[in-house]
Amino acid sequence: METGLTREKIVGMYRKMLEIRSFEERVFELYAQNLVPGTIHLYGGEEAVAVGVCSNLRKDDYITSTHRGHGHCIAKGAEPKRVMAEILGKQTGYCKGKGGSMHIADFSVGMLGATAVVGAGIPIAMGAGLSIKLRGTDQVVACFFGDGASNQGTFHEAINMAAVWKLPVIFVCENNLYAMGTRQSIVVLIGNIADRAVAYGIPGIAVDGNDVLAVHEATREAVERARKGEGPTLIECKTYRHKGHSRIDPAKYRPKEEVEEWLRKDPIRRFKEKLLQKNVLMEAEIQQVKKEILTEIEEAVKFATESPYPAPEGALEDVYT
C-alpha cells in the first residue's frame, strides 16, 4: 500500500481497531448481564477515527474525550483492564470508580479525560495547547468531540482562541450524523462541519471517518502543522455509530437503509479487506490477531469483575488535594 507507513504500523492500527470493537462488544454483553451500573455510550463503528488520529500521537501528546470515550482511551494507550474496571465501578479503575464510563482519564498516557458535558472538552483541549505553547514543548493535543458539540458556544470560543494564538490543537469532529436522536440536517444548514474552519482562519478538512488511512493522513498533516507552531486544524470525520446513542436507545429514528449502508462501510471490515487485497496481512494472521485480542479482553473482563468495589466512605476522599 502506498501510505508511507510501515507494515508494523498498519497492522498495529488494525489491531487497535479490533481491540476497541471487541472491548465494546464485551461491555455491551456485561451491560446485558446487569454488571454495568448506569449507562454506556458505545464507540462501535467509529474506531477508524480514534485510531486514525491517535496513531499519529506520541505518548506525551494529549487527547480530550467525550461521553463516548472508551475507544479514545484505548487508542491513546490506556490499559483495557483498567478502563473496564472503571466502567464497572471498581476500585482498580482509572478513577477508582468515581468517574465511570463517561469520565475516564489516564494522565500517564496523556489522556486528559472525558467530559460528559457536550462540548466542554473543547476549551480544555485548547488550554492544554496554551500550556504547551507557554512551556515551549512540541507536544500536540487532539480534541475529540461530536457533531452535536459543534453547536455549543464552546466550539466557537475555543477554536477561535486556539486559532488566534496558533495553538497546537487538532480539533476532531466525529460526525456520526446524530446528536442523540437529532439528525444533523435538522439543526445545521451546512453539510460539512469542517466548513466552519473558514470562520476562524484555519484549515478545515472533511474526511471519510470510516477509512482509517484517510483519517491518519489528514491528522498527520495537522499534527505536523501543530508541531511547527502553525496552529490548529479542524478535521471532520464522517462516521456512524453502530448502536444507538446510549444503552436504552434502539435508534429507531434512523432509516433501515441508512443503517445497512453504513454497516456495509464498517471501518474494520473495509480495512481488513484492503489489507488482504494488498497482501499486507494474510487471513491466518488476522485470525491470530483476533485470538490474541479476545484473550486480552477476556483478561480485562476477569480483572474488572474480580476487582473489589471501592469502600463506601471513599466517596468523601479526593474532593481536594
Partner 1 sequence: MRKITYKEALREALREEMRRDPTVFLLGEDIGKYWGGAFKVTKGLAEEFGDERVRDTPISESAIIGAAVGAAITGMRPVAEIMFGDLTALAMDQIANQAAKIHYMFGGQVKVPLVIRTPFGAGVNIAAHHSQSLEAWFMHVPGLYVAAPSTPYDAKGLLKTAIRGNNPVFFCEHKLLYPIEGEVPEEEYAIPFGVADVKRDGSDVTVVATLYMVHKALDAAEELEAEGVSVEVVDPRTLTPLDKQAITDSVKKTGRLVVVSEDCKTAGVSAEIAAIVAEEAIDYLDAPIKRVAEPDTPVPFSPPLEQYVIPNEKTIIKAVKEIV
Where along the sequence are the contacts to partner 1 (CB under 8 A)?
62, 64, 93-99, 103, 105-107, 112-113, 115, 117, 120, 122-135, 141, 153-154, 157-158, 160-161, 164, 317-321
d(CA 79, CA 213): 24
d(CA 222, CA 216): 10
The yes-or-no answer on residue 245 being catalytic is yes
Q: In whole angstroms, how close is the CB of 65 to partner 1 at the nearest point? A: 12
> What DSSP line would sit under 234-277, residue for residue?
EEEEE---SS-SSTT---TTS-HHHHHHHHHT-HHHHHHHHHHH
Please identify, using beta-carbon distances, which residue of 106 and 208 lies nearer to partner 1. Answer: 106
Query: Contact, 219 vs 142, CB < 8 A?
Result: yes
Q: In whole angstroms, how close is the CB of 221 to partner 1 at the nearest point? A: 23
∠ CA 134-135-141, rounded to 5°: 85
Q: In whole angstroms, how close is the CB of 174 to partner 1 at the nearest point? A: 19
Q: In whole angstroms, how close is the CB of 126 to partner 1 at the nearest point? A: 6
Catalytic site residue from 245, 247, 309, 320: 245
The yes-or-no answer on residue 15 being catalytic is no
Please identify, using beta-carbon distances, which residue of 152 and 246 lies nearer to partner 1. Answer: 152
Q: In whole angstroms, how close is the CB of 102 to partner 1 at the nearest point? A: 9
Please identify, using beta-carbon distances, which residue of 240 and 303 lies nearer to partner 1. Answer: 303
Please identify, using beta-carbon distances, which residue of 80 and 99 lies nearer to partner 1. Answer: 99
The yes-or-no answer on residue 253 being catalytic is yes
Please identify, using beta-carbon distances, which residue of 63 and 194 lies nearer to partner 1. Answer: 63
Please identify, using beta-carbon distances, which residue of 158 and 205 lies nearer to partner 1. Answer: 158
**CA separation, residue 270 to residues 210, 262, 266, 307 (Å):** 8, 11, 6, 37
Smallest CA-to-CA distance from 41 within 21, 65, 24 is with 24
**Phi and psi of 160, rounded to 5°?**
-60, -45
What is the 3-state secondary structure of 53-81?
HHCCCCCCCEEEECCCCHHHHHHHCCCHH
Catalytic site residue from 253, 264, 270, 309: 253
The C-alpha cell that represents 317 in the structure block: 476522599
Catalytic site residue from 21, 67, 225, 241: 241
**Residue 89 CB coordination number (10 Å):** 22
Q: In whole angstroms, how close is the CB of 226 to partner 1 at the nearest point? A: 15
Q: What are the residues whose beta carbons fall under 8 Å from the beta carbon of 158, sequence distance 6 or more?
A: 122, 123, 125, 126
Q: Which residues are catalytic?
A: 241, 245, 253
